[in-house]
Amino acid sequence: MLISVGALVAIRHHGTRHPELLSDEARGQRSSQSGYGTLLVLAVVLVITIIWPSVGAWPLLGLFLVDPIERTLTRWRDR
């Protein structure tokens, strides 16, 4: 999951840097979610699961924190 989200974040970043690669409909759209929050939470979940394998999949509940993290990142970026 971490690699998939990382690839999607990279594709989005590349698409915003090269708008000629985007379709006409996609050029006008701006998403408030960058994907970095999801990437960050999944990286933390992976580290926790590697260090303490007995916790199983419970750290994935941390994905509920993605929205507050994305909002915080958006506020910092918009300063």
How do the domains of the chain map onto residue ranges? 2-77
Looking at residue 52, its pLDDT comes to 93
Average pLDDT over residues 46-63: 91
Evaluate if residue 38 carries a pLDDT over 80: yes
pLDDT band at 53 (very low <50, low <70, confident <90, very high): very high
Evaluate if residue 32 carries a pLDDT over 60: no
Evaluate if residue 16 carries a pLDDT over 70: yes
Q: In angstroms, what CA-CA distances link 7 with 63, 70, 75?
A: 18, 18, 24
> Taking Cα atoms as reference points, which of 46, 39, 32, 43 lies closest to residue 6?
39
Evaluate if residue 21 carries a pLDDT over 80: no
Global pTM reads 0.68
> Taking Cα atoms as reference points, which of 61, 43, 34 lies closest to residue 1?
43
